[in-house]
Amino acid sequence: MVSRIIQVPSFDLVVFGATGDLAQRKIFPALYGRLLAGQMPSNAKVIGIARQDISTNKFRMLVRKSLDVYFQLSSVSDKLINSFLQCFVYVSVDANSDKNWDLVRSELRPDKIRAFYLSVAPELFDKLAAKIFAKGLSTENSRIVVEKPLGSNEKSAKALNGMLRNYFKEGQIYRIDHYLGKETVQNLMALRFSNVLFEPLWNSKFIDHVQITVSEKIGVQGRGAYYNKTGALKDMVQNHIMQLLCLTAMEPPSQFVSDLVRDEKLKVIKSLGTVSELDIVTGQYWENSSENFFRDVGDQNTKVESYVALKVSVNNLRWSGTPFYLRTGKKMRDQVSEIAIIFKEISHSIFDDQKAKARNKLIIRLQPNDGITLKTNIKDPGLGGMRITSVPLDMTFAEALDINRYKVANAYERLIMDVIRGDQTLFMRGDEVEEAWKWIDNISRQISSNQIPDRYASYSSGPESSDLLLDRDGRKWRSIK
């Protein structure tokens, strides 16, 4: 069997914020995952940076501890882990100071690809990008990686892009949305663009509506102050849900290469209609007088939403007349991320059984249990006439593809390797981010001037008004299990 690993060249990865949550919980375990898969070059180097004054040894212990959470290290030989940890060095640097940058420079190797991962608060992006440039650390073969929040509105996103482009070319800037690195999200593109079956039906003639759901069971979890300035719309819709919407609605690019894919996504964002006040629902979770959203964000008067649902139109030839319903919320019944394509009823049924009119549904599930299900109508087995029943055609690929032999890479594993090999297909381009904010800014203005969020019970499906948003169109949300 042909190896599924495409080797990447050796690299120096500089992680700013190396002692923080993102680095310890996602970035370093992802690198270890690639080592286990045989993709991490043995002479790769990771230079961890934060203000804390710790030795490289102490830093390696921190990294080892973070790996313990995700991998059963006891089952792996110490030799392997130690060789992995040898790749890591630590330099204490404060983004606000000129001290120790020469130590960072001395760790960098002239002939290697360099990636600077800004895993720090966005207020530090500017200072760090400027320092990387001023200290002469950046080469033609360098990349810079940033992650949400990429601005808080169109103006700040433009300012951030302008700042980054002062020091790096657009082709060197990697804006991560980790949803794009998920296996199922890429499968959505494979499904649409490599099968003759789906693309002819992928339009308003056959699709009644689309539902995109990203529900979380957790609350704001210690991020109350940040969340109270952000809310569900900016925290989830502007990035993750927008990316899912784009991949669902976009036209096929002529080739699967980064700028052609990103051009098509941008066209979708530009086609989004203005969302009217009547098509926006916001909510705040409430358990009891001591457990609620207000307490979690530390603001009894907050109008910020922990839930938002929208009815959205994509104004182009393919989608005119097919609404996209989007929803996301915290403290919901379950953690679900999915795209549901709800097809139209068959125009004329030859069967008496009304169930023959059940709509076909294509469910693209990102979590839990990622996979794709097609709901189809078949004959109920056995005697008793032509009774029809709806059954899921589960596209579980594990057996067919012998997936168990290959651990499926998580999103960060894939994205970090793409950064190293210089493939921007699964990263957002600056104009995409700005255009997405422009659209969100309009909705945000409507929410702040017109809406008092409705209360919804914690661990429910969201506010009743959200059900009404679909009821009035004769539709229903899929249940959040």
- Catalytic residue list: 240
Write the binding mask 91 to 120 for ligand NAP: x where contact by CB under 6 A, - elsewhere: --xxxx----------------------xx
Q: Could you identify the residue written with the tokens 């651990």? A: 407
Pairing of strands 88-92, 173-176: unpaired
Nearer Cβ to ligand NAP (25/455): 25
Nearer Cβ to ligand NAP (51/407): 51
Nearer Cβ to ligand NAP (128/341): 128
Q: How far apart are the first and last CA of the chain?
A: 39
Residues binding ligand NAP: number (CB under 6 A): 23
Of 52, 194, 221, 274, the one binding ligand NAP by CB under 6 A? 52
Pairing of strands 113-118, 280-286: unpaired
Nearer Cβ to ligand NAP (280/411): 411
- Helix (H) / strand (E) element for 115: namely strand 113-118
| Residue least distant from ligand NAP (Cβ) | 20
Q: Could you identify the residue written with the tokens 């990387």? A: 132
Nearer Cβ to ligand NAP (52/139): 52
Q: How far apart are CA 170 and CA 158, in angstroms?
A: 13
From the CB of 118, what's the least distance to ligand NAP, in Å? 8
- Tell me if 50 contacts ligand NAP by CB under 6 A: yes
From the CB of 219, what's the least distance to ligand NAP, in Å? 15
33: left (phi over 0), alpha (psi -120 to 50) or beta: alpha
Write the binding mask 395 to 434 for ligand NAP: x where contact by CB under 6 A, - elsewhere: ----------------------------------------
Q: How far apart are CA 248 and CA 242, in angstroms?
A: 10
Q: How far apart are CA 337 and CA 473, in angstroms?
A: 23
From the CB of 178, what's the least distance to ligand NAP, in Å? 7
Nearer Cβ to ligand NAP (324/427): 427
From the CB of 259, what's the least distance to ligand NAP, in Å? 25
The number of CA neighbours under 13 Å toward the Cβ of 34 is 24
Q: How far apart are CA 215 and CA 452, in angstroms?
A: 21
- Tell me if 122 contacts ligand NAP by CB under 6 A: yes
**Coil, strand or helix at 12:** strand
- Tell me if 121 contacts ligand NAP by CB under 6 A: yes
Q: Give me the DSSP letters along 388-447.
A: EEEEEEEE--HHHHTGGGSPPPPHHHHHHHHHHHT--TTSB-HHHHHHHHHHHHHHHHHH
From the CB of 125, what's the least distance to ligand NAP, in Å? 8
Q: How far apart are CA 221 and CA 226, in angstroms?
A: 11
The token pair that represents 13 in the structure block: 């990865």
**Coil, strand or helix at 210:** strand
- Tell me if 177 contacts ligand NAP by CB under 6 A: no
Of 9, 43, 51, 99, the one binding ligand NAP by CB under 6 A? 51
- Tell me if 20 contacts ligand NAP by CB under 6 A: yes
Residues 211-240 that bind ligand NAP (CB under 6 A): none
Cα→Cα distances 466→283, 338, 344, Å: 9, 17, 22
From the CB of 83, what's the least distance to ligand NAP, in Å? 25
Nearer Cβ to ligand NAP (243/360): 243
Cα→Cα distances 20→52, 145, 167, 181, 220, Å: 11, 16, 25, 21, 18
Residues 140-169 that bind ligand NAP (CB under 6 A): 147-149
- Tell me if 19 contacts ligand NAP by CB under 6 A: yes
Residues interacting with ligand NAP, by CB under 6 A?
A: 16-23, 50-52, 93-96, 119-122, 124, 147-149
